[in-house]
Chains A and B, each alone.
Chain A
Amino acid sequence: KAGVTQTPRYLIKTRGQQVTLSCSPISGHRSVSWYQQTPGQGLQFLFEYFSETQRNKGNFPGRFSGRQFSNSRSEMNVSTLELGDSALYLCASSASETSGYNEQFFGPGTRLTVL
């Protein structure tokens, strides 16, 4: 089985712009979670989608949003980019059918740099 794929791998944007990141989960996985990784704050949970519905949400401002499509692929969007949004954005998929732990498989991440 192919693993979790994320595109693009690297992205450079300027302040005020918006960006969309994409994640394709492992085939058959219906849950997709997003995490932000920065040197200062470490790994922080953004949100989780299951069957096209947001199931869990972390403590991020409304500039961060996401969605999931019927094929379980997910996108996250960040509007009005700030310098502090520079980070590695990781996507993880799991076969979770209910809220609660199922092993999450991580993609390689998208490295976003905001100038």
Chain B
Amino acid sequence: GNSVTQMEGPVTLSEEAFLTINCTYTATGYPSLFWYVQYPGEGLQLLLKATKADDKGSNKGFEATYRKETTSFHLEKGSVQVSDSAVYFCALVTSNTGKLIFGQGTTLQVKP
């Protein structure tokens, strides 16, 4: 079946450090890929997306590239801020359903 695997957290970084959160997927067909962010006490917000191979999604300094050959969609940011502290979820949807399949989530803590 379809699945998403994320690196385990928590990830603790100092402000202005480089961030990578790994995400790999298993899916039939050609999924669309997403990163969602969840701040404490809130629902999920779409951070970025990519709908086909080699697409790069980007938003608020975060980037991720859809790599079909390695079935990966790693999240990166060049310089994190304290305000980036949250839980990050990688997710996919396949073309024949409307349901999102999520990874387990990675908690990011950024210290001043």
Contacts and interface: CB of A to CB of B under 8 A. Distances in A.
Interface of A: 4, 31, 33, 35, 42-45, 48, 50, 55-56, 58, 90, 92, 94, 96, 99-109
B101 A45 contact: yes
Given A42-B104, A108-B41, A101 B46 contact: no
Interface of B, helix, strand, loop or mixed by DSSP: loop
B99 A56 contact: yes
B31 to A, nearest CB: 9
B55 to A, nearest CB: 13
Contacts of B61: none
B103 A42 contact: yes
Contacts of A99: 96-98
A101 B93 contact: yes
Of B32, B45, B97, B101, most buried by chain A (CB within 10 Å of CB) is: B97
6 contacts: A48-B99, A56-B99, A58-B99, A99-B98, A106-B45, A108-B43
Interface in B39-91: 41-46, 49, 51, 89, 91
Contacts of B99: 33, 45, 48, 56, 58
Contacts of A33: 98-100
Contact of A100 (B42, B97, B103, B104): B97
Interface residues of B, number: 24
A45 B100 contact: yes
Contacts of A48: 98-99
Contacts of A31: 98
7 closest A-B pairs by beta carbon, nearest first, are A106-B43, A43-B102, A45-B99, A106-B44, A101-B93, A42-B104, A108-B43
A100 B44 contact: no
